[in-house]
C-alpha cells in the first residue's frame, strides 16, 4: 500500500499553483488528502505530480456575513464545524458536518475538497446542492463560478477542467422562517451513510409549510436535492404528507444494493429519514420563528 512515484510541489501562492497546475496535465491537487491519499496508496489512482495547496495562505479563510458563509479551499471540516458564526448563519452546515467521518479525518479533510471530490455519499456535496451553493474555480485562463447543476456531471465527476483549482465555496445563509435538519443512518458511527437526508422547511406566520426541500446522500449518482413541497398540500405536516414526501423523493432517487444494504432497505431508510428529518426541520423552523419574534419584541 505505497503509491507509485510522483513529484510533489508545495507552492505558496495561488498564482504559482495555477501556473504549475496548468503546466502539468497529469497532476492532482492535494487538499486534506483524506480521499486522494488512500486512492494513491492503494494504487487505484496514479498521477505524475501532486500539487499541495496547503501552503497557500489566501485559501485558508472563512468569512461569514448576512448573505452566507464563504470559505477557502484549505478550510478543514473541523474549522467550519467549530466556527460559532457559521452555525448562526447557516445551521445546516454544522448539522451535516457532524456526520462527516470522525474528528481526526475532519481535522485534515477540507470541505471544498469534499465537494470537488463529488462523492454522492459525502454529506457536503449534498449540502452544497441543497443550499444552492456556488463554487469558485480558477485557472491561468480565468475564474468561473459554478452552481450545482454546472458542477456535478456524473458519479465522482465534476465539470472542472484539468487546469482548474477550486478556490472558494459560498453557501448562502438560511432565510427567515426556515428551519433545517440533517440525519443519516450509517453502519457505524461516522461511516459513510447508507442513507442521509438534509432538509430545509419554510413556514408562514401561521406555521404552515410553504416549502420543503430535501437533499439525499448515498442514493443517487450525483448529489441530489429534491423539492418536496407538493407532498404537503395545505401546508400541513401530517403522517400522510410525510409518507407521500418519502415516496415522492424515491421517484427521483436510484438506491442501489451493496454489501451493506439491499435496495429495499435503502428505500425504507429514505422513507423513514424523510419523515424524521422533515419533521425536525419543521420543528426547527417553528422554534426559530418563535425565538426571532421574541428577540424582536
Ligand X SMILES: Cc1cc2nc3c(=O)[nH]c(=O)nc-3n(C[C@H](O)[C@H](O)[C@H](O)COP(=O)(O)OP(=O)(O)OC[C@H]3O[C@@H](n4cnc5c(N)ncnc54)[C@H](O)[C@@H]3O)c2cc1C
Site of interaction with another protein (CB under 8 A) = 1-5, 42-43, 185, 187-192, 194, 259-262, 264-265, 268-269, 272
Instruction: List C-alpha distances in Å: 269 to 96, 152, 195, 272, 275.
Output: 17, 24, 6, 5, 10
Which CB atom, from 184 or from 237, has the smaller least distance to ligand X?
184
107: left (phi over 0), alpha (psi -120 to 50) or beta: alpha
Which CB atom, from 88 or from 260, has the smaller least distance to another protein?
260
- Distance of closest approach, residue 5 Cβ to another protein, in angstroms: 7
User: If binding is defined by CB under 6 A, does position 18 make contact with ligand X?
Assistant: no
Indicate the DSSP class of residue 247: H
User: If binding is defined by CB under 6 A, does position 181 make contact with ligand X?
Assistant: no
Whole-angstrom distance, CA of residue 111 vs CA of residue 100: 10
Residue 262 backbone phi and psi in degrees, to 5: -80, 170
- Distance of closest approach, residue 113 Cβ to ligand X, in angstroms: 3
Which CB atom, from 83 or from 117, has the smaller least distance to another protein?
117
Which CB atom, from 122 or from 215, has the smaller least distance to ligand X?
122
User: If binding is defined by CB under 6 A, does position 166 make contact with ligand X?
Assistant: yes
Indicate the DSSP class of residue 175: P
Which residues in the 23-42 window bind ligand X by CB under 6 A?
Answer: 28-36
Which CB atom, from 151 or from 245, has the smaller least distance to ligand X?
151
Residue the block writes with cell 423523493: 249
| 272 binding partner (options another protein, ligand X, none; Cβ < 5 to 8 Å by kind) | another protein
- Distance of closest approach, residue 180 Cβ to another protein, in angstroms: 21
3-class DSSP state of 197: strand
- Distance of closest approach, residue 252 Cβ to another protein, in angstroms: 21
- Distance of closest approach, residue 26 Cβ to ligand X, in angstroms: 12
Which residues in the 107-126 window bind ligand X by CB under 6 A?
Answer: 109-110, 112-114, 116-117, 122-124
User: If binding is defined by CB under 6 A, does position 192 make contact with ligand X?
Assistant: yes
Sign of CA dihedral 186, 156, 123, 226: negative
3-class DSSP state of 30: strand
Indicate the DSSP class of residue 110: B
Name every residue whose Cβ is closer than 8 Å to that of residue 97 and which is 6 or more positions away in sequence: 77, 80, 81, 106, 111, 123, 124
Which CB atom, from 73 or from 228, has the smaller least distance to ligand X?
73
- Distance of closest approach, residue 64 Cβ to ligand X, in angstroms: 20
- Distance of closest approach, residue 159 Cβ to another protein, in angstroms: 28
- Distance of closest approach, residue 228 Cβ to ligand X, in angstroms: 23
Beta-sheet strands, E only, within the chain: 7-9, 27-30, 49-52, 62-65, 68-72, 134-139, 142-146, 152-154, 157-158, 165-172, 178-186, 193-203, 209-217, 224-227
Whole-angstrom distance, CA of residue 30 vs CA of residue 52: 5
β-pair partners for 224: 216
Per-residue binding letters, 59-88, with ligand X (x by CB under 6 A): --------------x---------------
- Residues making contact with ligand X (CB under 6 A): 28-36, 53, 73, 100-101, 105, 109-110, 112-114, 116-117, 122-124, 165-166, 192
Amino acid at each position: 500500500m505505497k503509491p507509485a512515484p510522483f513529484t510533489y510541489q508545495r507552492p505558496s501562492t495561488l498564482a504559482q499553483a495555477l501556473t504549475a497546475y496548468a503546466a502539468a496535465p497529469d497532476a492532482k491537487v492535494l487538499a486534506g488528502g483524506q480521499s486522494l491519499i488512500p486512492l494513491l496508496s492503494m494504487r487505484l489512482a496514479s498521477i505524475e505530480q501532486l500539487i499541495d495547496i496547503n501552503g497557500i495562505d489566501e485559501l485558508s479563510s472563512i468569512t461569514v456575513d448576512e448573505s452566507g458563509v464563504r470559505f477557502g479551499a484549505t478550510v478543514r471540516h473541523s474549522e467550519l464545524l467549530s466556527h460559532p458564526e457559521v452555525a448562526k448563519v447557516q445551521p445546516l452546515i454544522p448539522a451535516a458536518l457532524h456526520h462527516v467521518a470522525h474528528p481526526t479525518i475532519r481535522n485534515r479533510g477540507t470541505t471544498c475538497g469534499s465537494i470537488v471530490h463529488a462523492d454522492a455519499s459525502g454529506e457536503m456535496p449534498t449540502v452544497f446542492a441543497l443550499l444552492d451553493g456556488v463554487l469558485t474555480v480558477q485557472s491561468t485562463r480565468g475564474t468561473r463560478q459554478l452552481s450545482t447543476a454546472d458542477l456535478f456531471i456524473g458519479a465522482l465527476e465534476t465539470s472542472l477542467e484539468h487546469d482548474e483549482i477550486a478556490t472558494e465555496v459560498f453557501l448562502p445563509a438560511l432565510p427567515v422562517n426556515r428551519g433545517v435538519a440533517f440525519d443519516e443512518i450509517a453502519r457505524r458511527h461516522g461511516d459513510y451513510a447508507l442513507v442521509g437526508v438534509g432538509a430545509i422547511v419554510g413556514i408562514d406566520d401561521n406555521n404552515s409549510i410553504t416549502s420543503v426541500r430535501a437533499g439525499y446522500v448515498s442514493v443517487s449518482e450525483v448529489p441530489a436535492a429534491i423539492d418536496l413541497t407538493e407532498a404537503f398540500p395545505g401546508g400541513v405536516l401530517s403522517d400522510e404528507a410525510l409518507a407521500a414526501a418519502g415516496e415522492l423523493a424515491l421517484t427521483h432517487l436510484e438506491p442501489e444494493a451493496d454489501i451493506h444494504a439491499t435496495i429495499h432497505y435503502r428505500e425504507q431508510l429514505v422513507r423513514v429519514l424523510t419523515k424524521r428529518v422533515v419533521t425536525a426541520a419543521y420543528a426547527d423552523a417553528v422554534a426559530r420563528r418563535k425565538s426571532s419574534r421574541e428577540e424582536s419584541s
